[in-house]
Amino acid sequence: MLGEIEAEAYLNKISKSGCILGLESMQRLMEELLNVHRNISFIHVAGTNGKGSVCAMISSILMEAGLKVGTYTSPAVFDRKEQYQINGIPVSSHEFAALITEVKQACERLCAKGYNHPTVFEVETAAAFLYFFQNNCQIAVLETGMGGETDATNIIEKPLVSVLTSISMDHRKFLGDTLEQIAKVKAGIVKEGCPVVAIKPKQAQVCEVLENICNEKHAVLTYAEAKYAEDVQLCGVGEKPSCLHNKVQEAATNRFDEQTDSMFLSFQYKKIGKISLSMAGIYQVENAICAIETVKVLRASGFNISDNQIEKGLQKAKWQGRFSVLCQEPLFVMDGAHNEDAAEKLRQTLKMGFTNYKIIYIIGVLADKEHKKMLETMLPLAQSVFTVTPKNPRAMEGQALAQEAAMYHNEVTYCSSIKEAVDRALQCARQDKSMILAFGSLSYLGELREAFKEKES
């Protein structure tokens, strides 16, 4: 059997083959693994932004209802094992290595038959199916990769619910140049006769795409709409919140991450009542509503899930790298916003609750993202900006990013390392009442968190 280090090395090696869309390879791989995915009940989640948060919220609610819940998400932010969770606990090193060993052996059998080696995402997804099957999960919450129709996860045949989070421009090379094209690909997870919950798109033409596909598949579509959230409040910005702190802290179990958040969102929603979220980004309101509507569909199909379990599950839900607070003094937040839509939602959060702060940015991006539009959206709110180069083959050089950012802001500095950026941002923030916000890509947040921990230790 492979050890954990060998398993990681194997995955890193095959990741160099890149991304190949389509289901044939995944179907062959799962046949080698006895099609164990057919014995699992799935909630399947696709979309551009918010997939991970919605998966975390749905999983937390189902756990609160007493179910054994598997959760598979990608990409990993801090550790590959975090992609595989059962009841909020990541897979152990030993189990991870055993799973990858079993899938690797299946891949070797395929190669011996003359087939190409499956991609790294196919291997990781097959490992998730094995993990949930071997551990008798009652429900698995499954996040797609970047697509939908030809995504490796779409091998599943009859999900309990297909979920579509917000749809925006991203991965144009693979998914299309218009929102309608991207929506069609994402909605490829809709299956014949299976219910669908979707965050309602702002564009009528995108709604039309989703509605036509659901009609063709005889799939009942339920829209989740943030406009039905009333009395939205962000509590505890820069201080211990009086309105929610005790209530949420007593309920929280840090299922998904060790965070030091003391900021919370609350809102009133339809017949459910008051909802409290320990995820502070304002964009989490529509994600929470999406999770609620998904659970209501499950409830209508016979699952025993109470309103109280919905409330408690949402209170406890956490997700790494989405407006995650590293420390309060000075306030240091990291967020995975990496495209125009996510940047606009992050900007709304800043405008709602952080206008009393001077804001220092740390930004690192991947070269194939819409970084110009992101900079145009975010930089007007910054006091100063530090750019970095993420450790990723697709990374944009921080120096080039600094030159681009200088078109929108006068105080831009390139840092040769993430550690330098953290040091300089903390030094600036402590001089007056400032907050630090790191964003632009999930790919460097793990290194950023480690650099911060070293600085504070």
Rg (C-alpha) for the chain, rounded Å, is 21
Residues contacting residue 351 through CB under 8 Å, at least 6 positions apart: 381
d(C-alpha 70, C-alpha 138), whole Å: 8
User: Which percentage of the chain shows pLDDT scores above 70?
Assistant: 92
Summarised one tens digit per residue, pLDDT across range 108-121 is 999 999 999 999 99
Q: For residue 254, report the phi and psi dihedrals to the nearest 5 degrees.
A: 50, 45
Q: What confidence category does residue 174 fall into, taking pLDDT thresholds of 50, 70 and 90?
A: low
Sorted by where each begins, the domain ranges of the chain are 4-227+281-314, 324-456
d(C-alpha 60, C-alpha 254), whole Å: 11
**Full-model pTM:** 0.89
Supply the CATH classification number for the domain 324-456.
Answer: 3.90.190.20
pLDDT above 70 for 260? no
Report whether the peptide linkage leading into residue 393 is cis, meaning its omega lies within 30 degrees of zero: no
Pick from 171, 94, 107: nearest CA to 134: 94
Please, is 15 exposed, middle or buried when counting C-beta atoms within 10 Å of its C-beta (0-12, 13-18, 19+)? middle
d(C-alpha 315, C-alpha 51), whole Å: 18
d(C-alpha 218, C-alpha 216), whole Å: 6
Which residue reads 């681009």 in tokens?
404
Supply the CATH classification number for the domain 4-227+281-314.
Answer: 3.40.1190.10
Long-range contacts formed by 423-427: CB under 8 A, 24+ apart? 423/455, 424/386, 425/332, 425/360, 425/362, 425/386, 426/330, 426/332, 426/455
Q: What confidence category does residue 169 fall into, taking pLDDT thresholds of 50, 70 and 90?
A: low
Q: What confidence category does residue 243 fall into, taking pLDDT thresholds of 50, 70 and 90?
A: very low
